[in-house]
Amino acid sequence: MSSNLFRLDHRVVAVIGAGSGIGEAVARGAAVHGAHVACLDVAAAPAAATADRIRTAGGGADSAPVDIVDGAAVDAVFSDLITRLGRLDAVVCTPAINVRKKILDYTDEEFDRVVRVNLKGTFNVVRAAGRVMLPLGAGSIVVFSSIRAQVVEPGQSVYAMTKAGVVQLVRTAAAEFGPAGVRVNAIGPGVVDTPLTAPIKTRPDWYDAYANKTVFKRWASAEEMVGPTLFLISDAASYVTGTILFVDGGWLAADGRFTPPGL
């Protein structure tokens, strides 16, 4: 058995959403484990800043802007990586948006916006990655779903719908890409402390309620998503495909509503 199951030396890893939050943490983590990281984000400057930090720390990285709702743009950025670097071993896609509203208050524009980024965007990434990886006969694709693929709360209808859809996309892609040696999986985070969730901190009751739903009684940091993600793109997960790895601090495992007397 190799002692380097989790190493990514000499591999090219594209991380979409690398400008901040979970994507930035994953990009930097992949570089620490030896990968050359393509830092991709809809915002060019933050992606470039992440690449700069990786290079300053002695790693290999470059950056480019990409909007995942533009399928042709995603195809182009992956094709460019193949042209310049000769390979693309893994793709990690983290971006998503949420509009928290009750179903009856949702507008058509809000519905379309969430579905366009979370479902169409993720589909574009999986399709584009498959197009370049299948001819290479290898590769790993990791996209981000959520605990909301399984459990919901008021105001999460469209977001939860898209995150459940991402899981079915992963399963289908795994079935279609597997014979060519390409693996496809999802990460299902619970509550993660990132710039996207920062507004919740202004509501201590809301923030604490989420913390208390986990068995650890706290939120995750973005860095705690790195290990599970790197596992899925490494050789350690060579027989793992078509699944979702929940990284939720026990949110889905424990009901959390009541501890019986005497326990």
Active-site annotation holds for 159 = yes
User: What are the C-alpha distances in Å from 85 to residues 43, 64, 88, 151, 236?
Assistant: 23, 14, 8, 41, 24
Cβ atoms of 222 and 170 within 8 Å: the answer is no
Considering the candidates 106, 159, 207, 210, report the single residue annotated as catalytic. Answer: 159
How far apart CA 31 and CA 12 sit, in angstroms, is: 10
Annotated active-site positions, please?
Answer: 159
